[in-house]
Amino acid sequence: MKKIIITIDGYSSCGKSTVARQLAKELNYIFIDSGAMYRAITLYFLQNKVNLHDEAAVNTALAAINLSFVFNATTGKSDMYLNEVNVEIAIREMYISDNVSTVAADAAVREFAVAQQRKIGEQKGIVMDGRDIGTTVFPNAELKIFMTADIDVRVERRYKEVVAANAGITREEVKQNLAMRDHLDSTRAISPLRKADDALVLDNSNLTMAEQLTLVLQWVNERI
Ligand code: C5P
Q: State the sign of the Cα–Cα–Cα–Cα dihedral 93, 186, 42, 143.
A: positive
- Model pLDDT, residue 166: 84
pLDDT tens digit sequence for 93-117 = 999 999 999 999 999 999 999 999 9
With a cut of 90, say whether residue 75 has pLDDT above it. no
Atom of ligand 1 at shortest range from CA of 137? 21
ipTM over 0.90: yes
Q: Is 125 annotated as a binding residue?
A: no
With a cut of 90, say whether residue 77 has pLDDT above it. no
Mutational test site, ligand 1, from 43, 131, 154, max ligand atoms within 8 Å of CB: 131
Average pLDDT along the chain: 96
Pairing relationship of beta strands 85-86 and 77-82 according to DSSP bridges = antiparallel
Atom of ligand 1 at shortest range from CA of 188? 20
Check if 88 has its Cβ closer than 6 Å to any atom of ligand 1: no
pLDDT tens digit sequence for 30-48 = 999 999 999 999 999 999 9
- Model pLDDT, residue 165: 79
